[in-house]
Chain A
């Protein structure tokens, strides 16, 4: 049973516009949520996170929104840049349990 779901395998966005990546989770015990970014032939790198006590966290062009009642989070990138083209993974856990990752969304930012 998939606990973290990213239902869009891919997304294309024009440079300068907003990119919105979505993630749903099923485990109500999850209390920490993260987004990772992955370029080809590299390991994933941490992008931004949010704890369950918040509903929004912002870091520069990146904002993560958490809707606990809907068990949904989203990553907003504004404005999108060609260098943002990568695979984005949503991940979550509770306490010290290992992170559970979604299948990823490939973002293409078109110049």
Chain B
């Protein structure tokens, strides 16, 4: 549909394990973003990228790292997952206009 896919859609992992979420786009957009959605908090920015190998931190970046080695892929890594990182994670892309296109989300549960 919108040219953005997230994988996996659902994941359950144990505390302390590393986890990587993938965002893939086919739109050749420069900007890519990772947000998390939690009840009572709305959507909060974790990290974003403004080009290959160019990334910056967002509001809630602690415990997360990202990588963008090619235009189409933006990876979010939880180095050592904690229960507070249980959330729904959304990737978004933006092009020349102001609108963002979001992926369908990854529901991550850390037990």
Judge whether A75 is part of the interface by a CB distance below 8 angstroms: no
Contact among A42, A89, A93, A98 for B105, CB-based, below 8 A: A42
Q: Within 8 Å CB of A103, what residues of B? A: 40-42
Q: With A98-B33, A98-B48, A98-B58 known to touch, is A46 a contact of B42 (CB < 8 Å)?
A: no
Closest B residue to A101 using CB positions = B43
Q: Within 8 Å CB of A45, what residues of B? A: 102
Closest B residue to A42 using CB positions = B104
Bound-state CA distance A41–B102 (Å) is: 12
Closest A residue to B99 using CB positions = A46
Judge whether A99 is part of the interface by a CB distance below 8 angstroms: yes
Min CB gap A4→B, angstroms: 8
Tally B residues with Cβ within 8 Å of A: 22
Min CB gap A23→B, angstroms: 11
Interface residue ranges of B84-111 to A (CB < 8 Å): 90, 92, 98-105
Bound-state CA distance A13–B67 (Å) is: 44
Judge whether B44 is part of the interface by a CB distance below 8 angstroms: yes
Bound-state CA distance A99–B105 (Å) is: 17
Closest A residue to B48 using CB positions = A98
Q: With A43-B90, A43-B102 known to touch, is A89 a contact of B33 (CB < 8 Å)?
A: no
Q: With A42-B105, A43-B90, A43-B103 known to touch, is A101 a contact of B44 (CB < 8 Å)?
A: yes
- Given A46-B100, A89-B42, 20 more A-B residue pairs with CB atoms under 8 Å apart are A32-B98, A34-B99, A42-B104, A42-B105, A43-B92, A43-B102, A44-B102, A45-B102, A46-B101, A49-B98, A49-B99, A89-B43, A96-B31, A98-B45, A98-B58, A99-B33, A100-B45, A101-B44, A103-B40, A103-B42
A: residues with CB less than 8 A from B are 6, 32, 34, 36, 41-46, 49, 89, 91, 93, 96, 98-104
